[in-house]
Amino acid sequence: MPKSTSSARSCGSIWICALLLALIAGCVPQPAYHHSVPQTLYARKFERLWQNYDHYYPYFDYKHIHWNAEYARYRPQVSRVRNDTQYLALLKHMLAPLKDVHAVLVTPSGRWIHTYEPPRFDRPNWNLASLRKNVTDLTWYGRKWGTGTVHGIPYIVIAAWTHAGFSVANFDYILNQYRRSPALIFDVRMNGGGDDRLAYAVAGRFTTQKRLTEYLQFRNGPLHSDLTPPKPRYLKPRGPWQFSKPVALLIGPDCFSSNESFIAAMQTLPNVTTIGATTGGGSGDPRFFDLGAGWRYSVPTWIDYTADKRVIEWNGIPPEVPVKTTPQDFRHGADPVLDAAVRLLEAKLHAPRVRKAQAEPVP
């Protein structure tokens, strides 16, 4: 009899525990996926892509995106997908509301298919033909960067932060030729990004001390609001010497990604003045995943802030000296942004120097 009573109590305890667990589980919001086991290859790929965004993407709350609703809308459509073309079109439609230049699909050949093309209200901000006309001795090293002079002022243009045709050593060699120059024009208006480590290595030649330049945040939990504290990022001096004389940095709406990190770093320097138009506003440090058959997709992973804690995504970085341009300017061969840079630097170079007052001798 005692043994039987003990067994009954044990069974009762088990049922109570099970009931409590069921109640607790019912109170916890469950993810939208895994309600059914995916039966097709496309469905399994869709689940992985949706989950990776759900786990890593940091901008859901910032952009007011209801990701579960996107799942509910597009997951049933996967069963009707019959080929890769239909599947990729479905993914593009699902990712489009993010309005993120770093939410891309990558073909087997490496070509990026963007799910979002941002409007460029200030375009055009630069023109290659006008650039060649105004920088008469412009010399390109490959297709990504070049040098020249404008009214006797050294000019450097970097069109992408990529290692193809560009290296830190080559940049250091060119900068060394301008060591005694009183000023410099640095043009990155057409630079859409690349490797931010390369960008920071170049920026390091213009600062004489360690400086706070950006803050970065990442996802660190299952909730879309789970973010790490803002982590400060610093720019440090690099090389045997630094160019601390006046620099005009030309920027515009075609500037994105690691180029905006470069601009965020350079704008903290006292000798640098940004000129042109607000940058494109797209920073994400994307992580790439396999989609199958040689295709890949990216998931942006960070929220990037300027040193004064302004989010770069969707906002961009405004210039210190805004310059309005029109298509007519460039059709006539003019470059108002470059002209403004020349005027600014000439004013700085010809400004009278104020001497400190001499102390009166003690009688």
Per DSSP, 255 falls in state -
> Who has greater pLDDT, 319 or 32?
319
Per-residue pLDDT at 22: 40
Residue 363 has pLDDT above 60, yes or no: no
Per-residue pLDDT at 315: 97
Alpha helices in the chain (DSSP H): 2-27, 41-56, 60-63, 67-74, 84-95, 128-134, 168-177, 196-203, 258-266, 327-331, 336-350
Per-residue pLDDT at 39: 73
Query: 290 and 36 in contact (C-beta within 8 Å)?
Result: no
pTM for the model stands at: 0.86
CATH 3.90.226.10 fits 128-283+302-349, yes or no: yes
Per-residue pLDDT at 40: 86
Residue 10 has pLDDT above 50, yes or no: no
Per-residue pLDDT at 118: 87
Question: Nearest 5°: phi and psi at 276?
Answer: 135, -120
* Dihedral angle sign, alpha carbons of residues 115, 118, 123, 125: negative
Whether residue 119 has a cis bond before it, omega within 30° of 0: no
Per-residue pLDDT at 352: 62
Rounded to an integer, the average pLDDT of 106-124 is: 85
Residue 1 has pLDDT above 50, yes or no: no
> Who has greater pLDDT, 159 or 350?
159
| Cα–Cα distance measured from residue 239 to residue 257, given in angstroms and rounded to the nearest whole number | 25
